[in-house]
Amino acid sequence: MRSSERHLAKDSILRLGMRLGVFCLPLMLFLVLLEWLLASVPNSYSAKRDLLKELASEVETLIVGSSTANFGISPSHLAGSVFNLANNGETPYYTDRLLTQVVPELPKLKRVIFVAAPLTLFQKFQNGGSDDWLKYFYQFEWHIQPQRSEDRRDLRMWSRVALFHSSANFSKTISDSVQQFLQARWTGRKLIGIPGMDSRGWRTDNTESHDLGAKAATGIFNWYRSRFHEENLAENVALMEHSLGFLRGRNIEVVLVTTPVWQTFLDGMNTDLWLREFSAYNALSRKFGARHLCFLHPPPSLTAEDFRDSVHLNSRGAIRFTKILATELDRTGNSGGIR
């Protein structure tokens, strides 16, 4: 190739590179802006982190667990200063990591309430599960890496855009984030907390009861199956042993609480699996001097109007249940047993 032809080829490549740069630069700037925006607007995980930090010097009781705890126990209806740190889909791995991180920062902590929901000990985030993306919020907001090493090579470990894009409501999340961010900038207020969450971390739900029928309960069971494996039981028990041992070493009382479910969930539940799980909870209670308060069968004072679905209480039901729980917490001794 002659020198003039090589010059032309280099010029062509240079011009192509410049055009690609001009084309890509706005996209890169937009992605950087979007990453910053998504990091600036609270989500359930960051909101609870920031709210707990503000209350750290006074919190006496901490509630941990998954969605049944998130929606089902109202901190303001328990004695003392109480905070609800639970989040949807949370497994024992994340509960254990959260406790070891936050407990040393809570000087007045006296009690931790573990919400021991049915099938919790068989659960782990699985690739392709409907809530698989939730585990990356722990990475962003709490610096807790995913439990499985292969999940740590996912793009969602480093990109909030990728994370939110994998959620079910990506476009709504983006529009809501932009709206909240602009409102905060316009009013000059600090963004702490999210709609539907009170200052004590409780996710309120004022909707009337949803479908409590057998078909709807089957849909919930299908969600559980997407995260269910028999071999998770031993691993999750070991994680809870670590959590309870850690708390016992700090003289912090532990109470395991199984929240009520509706009859259609009970009818469809595998009794053998629950009895294995119940035995594991009771064994943990005995080993670490904890209490297990089991309300699996709803107390008579709770009706269909108190449930948002067959496994979750709505706000009215949560307040009623929390008052019942408060009475039981005042009792001494181990009150374990199937109710």
Going by C-alpha positions, the residue among 210, 233, 213 that lies closest to residue 221 is: 213
Tens digit of each residue's pLDDT (9 = 90 or more) over 68-125: 999 999 999 999 999 999 998 899 999 999 999 999 999 999 999 999 988 889 888 7
pLDDT average, residue stretch 194-208: 81
Most distant CA pair in the chain, distance: 94
Q: Taking the domains of the chain in order of start, what are their residue ranges?
A: 58-129+194-329
Q: Tens of pLDDT along 170-182?
A: 555 556 656 666 6
Q: What pLDDT, on the 0 to 100 scale, is given for residue 229?
A: 80
In angstroms, the CA 157 to CA 152 distance is 6
pLDDT band with cut points at 50, 70 and 90 for residue 32? confident
Q: Which pTM does this prediction carry?
A: 0.85
In this prediction, residues 299-326 reach a mean pLDDT of 93
Q: Does 17 score more than 70 pLDDT?
A: no
User: What's the one-letter identity of residue 304?
Assistant: A
Over the stretch 245-254, which tens digit does the pLDDT of each residue have? 999 999 999 9
Name the nearest CA neighbour of 85 among 197, 232, 207: 197
**Average confidence (pLDDT) over 231-247:** 95
Cα(277)–Cα(267) distance, integer angstroms: 17
Q: Which CATH superfamily is domain 58-129+194-329 in?
A: SGNH hydrolase (3.40.50.1110)
User: What pairs with residue 113 in β-bridges?
Assistant: 63, 255
> Are 179 and 172 within 8 A, CB to CB?
no
The predicted model gives 201-208 an average pLDDT of: 77
- Which residue would you say has higher pLDDT here, 125 or 287? 287
96 with 240: CB under 8 angstroms?
Answer: yes
Report the percentage of the chain scoring pLDDT > 90. Answer: 48
Whole-number pLDDT of residue 334: 42
Cα dihedral 32/33/34/39 (nearest 10): 90
Question: Which spans in the chain are helix H?
Answer: 3-40, 44-55, 67-72, 92-102, 135-142, 160-165, 170-187, 214-225, 232-248, 263-268, 271-288, 315-329
Residue bearing the bigger pLDDT, 7 or 316: 316
Q: Report the b/e string of 86-115 with b at 16+ CB within 10 A.
A: bbbbbbbbbbbbbbeebbeebeebebbbbb
**170 closest CA partner among 133, 196, 128:** 133
